[in-house]
Homo-oligomer: A and B are copies of this chain.
């Protein structure tokens, strides 16, 4: 998209600010660092956005939210290609939209880091994140999955499951270095694809599904103890 430096100062500031805020967090980035990266004058942030905090909020309004819409659109687009998507198709489409499609690698790191910072460390921007993206996304997925579950399904448990799917997606993105360290495994495209497979099978069948073997549950314990 707007990968090459935009020709106007305001957009260049937004772009570089997003990169730096995602990398280091609000407090650890100085306006001098941002304006230098954006090849603009030190006073440019205060001229275009009033102050540093307002620039941070504008990053969410003008860059983060639109990209989140893109992820949602990609998710729905993938699903609409399938004729009769089941639950595992939905989970796969959701994980893929976040971890593979819809964004470049840099955008993804940006996007998820910014989101995580607001989750762990909420500022004013958390209201934007929740009301514009997280809540609608939950609604989407819940209403997609619900028909394929028993009518007696506990709505709270379903919502917690959606949070669990999101937790895995976020974790395997932001904790990449640690996952790589512990598993002694480079986080390349092949591995990422296996991670998505894992998220889908773990979501569908839990730890009993990790071997691709179904209906073995209940047997294993007595056999091996």
Task: Give the residues from 189 to 224 in chain A that come closer than 8 angstroms, CB to CB, to chain B.
Answer: 194-195, 198-199, 201-211, 213-214, 216-218, 220-221, 224
Copies in the complex: 2
Task: Decide: B174 and A120 in contact? CB cutoff 8 A.
Answer: yes
Query: Given B27, B91, B138, B147, which contacts A225 in the complex, CB threshold below 8 Å?
Result: B147
Q: Is the CB of B202 within 8 A of A205?
A: no
Decide if A225 touches B84 in the complex (CB within 8 Å).
yes
In the complex, what's the smallest C-beta–C-beta distance from A210 to chain B, in angstroms?
4
| Min distance, Cβ A127 to any Cβ of chain B, angstroms | 9
Q: Are B161's CB and A216's CB within 8 A?
A: no
Best-surrounded residue of A25, A153, A154 (most CB of chain B within 10 A) = A25
Q: Shortest CB–CB separation between residue A84 and chain B, in angstroms? A: 7
Interface contact A181-B130, CB-CB below 8 Å: yes
Size of the chain A interface, CB-CB below 8 angstroms: 78
Contact between A172 and B161, CB atoms less than 8 A apart? no
- Cβ distance A130 to chain B, nearest Cβ, rounded Å: 5
Q: Does A157 contact B (CB under 8 A)?
A: yes
Residues in B whose Cβ lies below 8 Å from that of A206: 201-206, 209
- Return the contact of A182 from the options B120, B130, B157, B221 (Cβ within 8 A): B130
A204 touches B207 (CB 8 A): yes
Whether the Cβ atoms of A202 and B121 lie closer than 8 Å is no
Q: If A149-B224, A171-B167 touch, does A160 touch B210 (CB 8 Å cutoff)?
A: yes
- Interface residues of chain A, those whose CB is within 8 Å of chain B, are 24-28, 84, 86-87, 91, 113, 116-117, 119-122, 126, 129-130, 134-135, 138, 145, 147-154, 156-161, 163-164, 166-168, 170-172, 174-175, 177-179, 181-183, 185, 194-195, 198-199, 201-211, 213-214, 216-218, 220-221, 224-225
Beyond the given pairs A160-B210, A167-B172, 9 more chain A to chain B contacts, judged by CB atoms under 8 angstroms and listed by A's residue number, are A27-B27, A120-B174, A122-B177, A149-B211, A153-B210, A158-B207, A167-B168, A168-B168, A171-B171
